[in-house]
Structure 1
Amino acid sequence: MTPTLLSAFWTYTLITALTPGPNNILALSAATSHGFRQSTRVLAGMSLGFLIVMLMCAGISFSLAAMDPAIIHWLSWAGAAYILWLALKIATSPAANDGLRSEPISFWASFGLQFVNVKIILYGITALSTFVLPYTQEAHWLIGVSILLAIIGTFGNACWALAGHLFQRLFRRYGRQLNIILALLLVYCAVRIFY
């Protein structure tokens, strides 16, 4: 990879990992409501699911040209449904200041949610088909970059969870309002999938 291509790769992946999306909002919400330590199960499930999805994206992007474009359409609908479900869960969850501290979602729930997260699927397919496949189709490069993409995504989730932890007192004071704002942002994300 040339320095220009590497620069473009890092810019794309870091901006995508750090901009709001379902995982980042879930990480922020979990850390705000339950603290960083209690949220590690959520983050770990997201990270493992993210890694597996990135490896799957390597296979998908490798054969994307032969795929039926309708698959992407159905994937978009599944992702929008996931985002709306997540918005509903956040909007209806008790705010931290309500005194009803439930447990954060489980490792397996956050793991499973990765398989319908359109943002990370498109992130993986775009990065691999733009920055890797035009230059090499060797399996070790596809796998290596897939692992790197998962690490970058995990970094983005951890940043949002850390923000939730650091601003926990403020977020707890305005928990109901924060949940509504986060839910509305997720609804916006779901709508933007189609427009």
Structure 2
Amino acid sequence: MNTAAFLAYCFIVTFTPGPTNIFILSTVQNHGPKKALEYAAGAALAIGLLLILSVTFNSVLFEALPKIKLVMGGVGAVYMLYLAWKLSKMDVSAAETTAETDQVGISFKEGFLMQFINPKVVLFVLTVISNFIMPYYSSLFHRALFVLIITIIGLAAFVSWVIFGAILKYFLRTYQKTVNLVMSLSLIYCAFMVSGLQELLLR
């Protein structure tokens, strides 16, 4: 296995902006690092479980990959649009005064569940396992080791976005509406890219 290519792929996919990272950044802004870390922990656990499922059912999953891409593209686009709407409605002052009720949707559980309909995460775990792990390692120990390594990389990526959000917290609060708008538009762009509409428009 090309270790450099493996690590580069993992870091590029997990550290670059995506639905989870964008939502973590906004959660830091509106609810603080503690809630963002809670969400990040759930997301990281989900990645670990998805990696285990990918290793276990790799051959079956890839036979159905075209169907999985189609379904995940549609579901993922709807999910991203939902997050875009949620981000556009976020308000710092409201978050501070209604913390208990407003934080119900930003939890370890939601961070965990949302990764199963996040196309970036699902397609990443499918491709990283099939291209870098399965062809080179057959033992349960090595596969489990790589699942752990990739999960740790994912967690490190999420935590880095929490730190980034905490450092720029006051800047983000000062320009809250602009930041929320930019992040919402970023999610709408992500939804457009995974929905397959861009392919139809280019034909």
* TM-score, normalised by the number of residues in structure 2: 0.86
Residue from 17, 22, 31 that aligns with 2:19: 22
1:161 Cα deviation (Å)?
1.1
Residue from 21, 42, 45 that aligns with 2:42: 45
1:130-149 superposed matches below 5 A: 130-149=131-150
1:155-194 superposed matches below 5 A: 155-193=156-194, 194=196
1:72 Cα deviation (Å)?
2.3
**1:121 match:** 122
CA–CA distance in structure 2, aligned partners of residues 71 and 90 of structure 1: 27
1:68 Cα deviation (Å)?
5.8
Instruction: Say whether 1:11 aligns with 2:8.
Output: yes
Q: Which amino acid is 2:153 matched to? A: I
| CA deviation profile, 1:62-95 (whole Å, cap 9, x unmatched) | 434433622321122111111111111111111x
Distance 1:18 1:169, change over 3 A: same
Q: Which amino acid is 2:111 matched to? A: S
1:128 Cα deviation (Å)?
0.9
Residue from 72, 84, 88 that aligns with 1:87: 84
CA–CA distance in structure 2, aligned partners of residues 64 and 116 of structure 1: 15
1:44 Cα deviation (Å)?
1.8
CA–CA distance in structure 1, aligned partners of residues 147 and 73 of structure 2: 21
Instruction: Say whether 1:75 aligns with 2:72.
Output: yes
Greater CA drift, 18-27 or 101-110 = 101-110
Q: Which amino acid is 1:7 matched to? A: A
CA–CA distance in structure 1, aligned partners of residues 132 and 116 of structure 2: 23
CA–CA distance in structure 2, aligned partners of residues 36 and 89 of structure 1: 18
CA–CA distance in structure 2, aligned partners of residues 64 and 142 of structure 1: 17
User: Do 1:51 and 1:147's aligned partners in 2 also have CA atoms closer than 8 Å?
Assistant: yes
1:31 Cα deviation (Å)?
1.1
User: Do 1:124 and 1:146's aligned partners in 2 also have CA atoms closer than 8 Å?
Assistant: no
Aligned length: 190
The secondary structure found in structure 2 opposite 1:39 is helix
User: Relative to total residues, which structure has the larger helix share, 1 or 2?
Assistant: 2
**Percentage of identical aligned residues:** 29
CA–CA distance in structure 2, aligned partners of residues 119 and 72 of structure 1: 11
User: Do 1:55 and 1:147's aligned partners in 2 also have CA atoms closer than 8 Å?
Assistant: no
| CA deviation profile, 1:103-145 (whole Å, cap 9, x unmatched) | 4412211111111111111111111111111223333333322
Greater CA drift, 23-32 or 166-175 = 23-32
CA–CA distance in structure 2, aligned partners of residues 92 and 22 of structure 1: 16
Distance 1:114 1:176, change over 3 A: same
**2:51 match:** 54
